[in-house]
Structure 1
Amino acid sequence: MNQSKKQVDGAMFTALFIIILLTGIFIPFLTPITIFILPLPFVLYTARHGWKPALIMAVAAILLSILLGTIVTLPFAVPAVIGGIMIGEAIHKNISAYETWARGTFGYIIGLLFAFVFIQLVLQVNIVEEFQQVMDESLARSTSIMEQFGNPEQADVVKETMEQLLEGLTNLLPFYLLIASVFQALISQWISYKVMNRIEKRELRFPPFRSLRFPSSTLFIYLFVLLAAFMITDTDSGTLTMAIQNLLVIAQMVLTIQGFSFLFFYTHYKKMSKAFPIIFVVIVFLMPTFMFIIRFIGILDIGMNLRERLGQK
């Protein structure tokens, strides 16, 4: 009976996956929506039956997607399959919401890396070069307008600054990949929670943001990467420099999130209005100079256990 249930669910969720996938491909204005709900069939199936039956469903779904939509569907299908299985398996094991999010993010990173390599090698589309070409054309148009209506010398300075900025943006491509994975996993997991709570009468939800705490090893990683960034200053070191830049940005982002989490914790501890931390977050994003303060608070929270000290008091 259990095996029959797995087969019926597998066929049903595979069909649902194919419908969502083809809808997103052939109806372009629905693509942004389908990207986030595409993992849902795999989340639901894996949460019920575990990852081993989900692998069989994954093979069937990918083969059907190729047959019905050609290999062009693979960059859309594979990240959703891997991310969905990772999130679903975490739910199946009753793992906490934030750890589920981390596993889903890891799954999406693997899937998006596959999509990136597939587009580069199979579809013969160099994403980095395409991005640089678009940016160079935009920079050329902007420089031309400034030369016509402004000072040519000033236009050269602006051009040089913009070229350095664009080079930095290109070097941070792995960071953008991580950010995309984080948001895809978050939204897909949130949608899955809502659907499962409605269909299966469960009570899946994210705990309060104020309870989010990263391990103390995060601080040591940040200090190591920061030291490496000061030591490795040769711009000709290529891949190593790009890796250090991306790791530094990622570590800074994690510590900033930790700082915001402590801010929410502190206002709750002091029984302050819930509007206060939200307003402060908005102010920080409008005035990025305050971001350093939030990051420093995150460092103190991890390194000195500020929450436990407040609890002792």
Structure 2
Amino acid sequence: MKQTRIITEAAIFLAIYSVLLAFTLFIPIFSIVTMFFLASPFIILIMRHGLKATIPMLFGSLIISIFLGPILALPITLMFAGTGLIMGYFYLKRQPMLALTGGTIAFLISFVINYVVSIAFFGMDVFGELLEEMKTSMNQAFDLFSTFGQEVPADIIDEMNSQLELLSYILPSILVVSAFIFAIITHLTNRLILKRLKLDFGSLKPFKDWTLPKSMLWYYLAAIILGFLDLQEGSFMYIALLNMIFVLQLLLLLQGFSFIFYYRHVKQLSKGIPILVIITSMILPLLQDLIRILGIIDLGFDLRNRLKK
């Protein structure tokens, strides 16, 4: 009886997944939303019946993907089904932080594989083509300014070209950040569903309590010191250092944001203040630098304990 129930539920969730996948593939306007629910059927089935019960559903989803379109549907299924299996397993263990970490790694592996396959087998460098489009649009904008008699200074043109070149170097970091964002959104969407279904998946620490290991300061200091070396642009060490600094700066920025949320909680300020700070920092890069410094101070001098006292 129990086995029949499991098979029935697996078939229902497979049907739900098929509908979500079809919406994602063929109705682009909905794909931004439906895409992040693709992992949900796998997560829910694992939470209800364990990992083994989800394996037949995985094979079924792969077969459906082949019929819907192997070039697009199959990579999407492998990405979200694999992520759903990993996150669902850790949710079942009541370890949401490990689920978030595992989801990030799963998305990252999928991004890298899809990127390599698209170049090796289809000759499509999506990121490279995007950069070329950005460069073309930028040049067209400069030409438009020239048409109206407004010459753009050469140093500004050089600076913008340097920024585009920098983007090509930090592709690994962009993939890591993208994977983390995908994992966060997947967690948030499934968090609502699992709560609605009254499935216990543990509790994630509030963002105000997130803090990095103190060793991150030493890594950041080492990266800054290495930055003074005269490394050849485009070399492996140069690219590795750029990505290391980018990721560390982003982590320290998150540490700063976390402290702002903590400060708001301790001082019982309006909940809108940290949100306003985050939005403003997206517009003003200087504010990001200040928040990053705040994160460094918080990590190095334990501002939170001092604030408690």
Q: 1:146 to 1:156 in 2, by over 3 A?
A: farther
- Conservation of the 8 A alpha-carbon contact between 2:231 and 2:237: no
CA distance in 2, matches of 1:158, 1:290: 22
- Conservation of the 8 A alpha-carbon contact between 2:10 and 2:57: yes
Amino acid in the other structure paired with 2:101: A
Q: Does 1:256 align with 2:248?
A: no
Q: Which residue of the partner structure matches residue 59 of structure 1?
A: 59
Q: 1:134 to 1:276 in 2, by over 3 A?
A: closer
Q: 1:6 to 1:220 in 2, by over 3 A?
A: farther
Q: Does 1:292 align with 2:292?
A: no
- Conservation of the 8 A alpha-carbon contact between 2:169 and 2:234: no
Amino acid in the other structure paired with 1:120: I
SS in 1 for 2:296: helix
Q: 1:115 to 1:48 in 2, by over 3 A?
A: farther
Q: Which residue of the partner structure matches residue 34 of structure 1?
A: 34
CA distance in 2, matches of 1:162, 1:282: 24
Which shifted more, 101-110 or 222-231? 222-231
Amino acid in the other structure paired with 1:175: S
Q: 1:156 to 1:58 in 2, by over 3 A?
A: same
- Conservation of the 8 A alpha-carbon contact between 2:93 and 2:201: no
Q: Which residue of the partner structure matches residue 12 of structure 1?
A: 12
Q: Which residue of the partner structure matches residue 132 of structure 2?
A: 133
CA distance in 1, matches of 2:125, 2:277: 41
Q: Which residue of the partner structure matches residue 181 of structure 2?
A: 183
Alpha-carbon distance, 1:118 to partner: 2.4
Q: Which residue of the partner structure matches residue 268 of structure 2?
A: 271
CA distance in 2, matches of 1:150, 1:293: 38
Q: 1:58 to 1:241 in 2, by over 3 A?
A: farther
CA distance in 2, matches of 1:284, 1:132: 25
Alpha-carbon distance, 1:126 to partner: 1.7
Structure 1: 5+ residue runs without aligned partners? none
- Conservation of the 8 A alpha-carbon contact between 1:75 and 1:118: no
Alpha-carbon distance, 1:167 to partner: 0.9
Alpha-carbon distance, 1:4 to partner: 4.1
CA distance in 2, matches of 1:46, 1:218: 35
Q: Does 1:84 align with 2:81?
A: no
Amino acid in the other structure paired with 1:276: I
TM-score by length of 2: 0.88
Structure 2: 5+ residue runs without aligned partners? none
Amino acid in the other structure paired with 2:131: Q
CA distance in 2, matches of 1:30, 1:244: 39
Q: 1:218 to 1:9 in 2, by over 3 A?
A: farther
- Conservation of the 8 A alpha-carbon contact between 1:39 and 1:83: yes
Alpha-carbon distance, 1:87 to partner: 1.5
- Conservation of the 8 A alpha-carbon contact between 1:22 and 1:69: no
Q: How does 1:229-244 map to 2 (within 5 A)?
A: 229-231=227-229, 233-237=231-235, 239-244=236-241
- Conservation of the 8 A alpha-carbon contact between 1:87 and 1:103: yes
Give 2:168's match in structure 1, choosing from 166, 170, 186: 170
How many residue pairs get matched?
Answer: 309
Q: Does 1:106 align with 2:121?
A: no
Which shifted more, 81-90 or 296-305? 296-305
Amino acid in the other structure paired with 1:279: L
- Conservation of the 8 A alpha-carbon contact between 1:74 and 1:115: no
Q: Which residue of the partner structure matches residue 116 of structure 1?
A: 115
Alpha-carbon distance, 1:235 to partner: 0.7
- Conservation of the 8 A alpha-carbon contact between 2:43 and 2:87: yes
Q: 1:271 to 1:147 in 2, by over 3 A?
A: closer
Give 1:196's match in structure 2, choosing from 194, 203, 209: 194
Q: 1:143 to 1:275 in 2, by over 3 A?
A: closer
- Conservation of the 8 A alpha-carbon contact between 1:262 and 1:298: yes
Alpha-carbon distance, 1:51 to partner: 3.9
Alpha-carbon distance, 1:56 to partner: 4.5
Q: How does 1:136-155 map to 2 (within 5 A)?
A: 136-150=135-149, 154=152
CA distance in 2, matches of 1:136, 1:58: 41
Q: 1:175 to 1:262 in 2, by over 3 A?
A: same
Give 2:300's match in structure 1, choosing from 287, 291, 303: 303
Q: 1:273 to 1:24 in 2, by over 3 A?
A: closer
Amino acid in the other structure paired with 1:68: L
CA distance in 1, matches of 2:48, 2:68: 27
CA distance in 2, matches of 1:62, 1:51: 17
Q: Which residue of the partner structure matches residue 282 of structure 1?
A: 279
Q: Does 1:228 align with 2:226?
A: yes
CA distance in 2, matches of 1:14, 1:191: 19
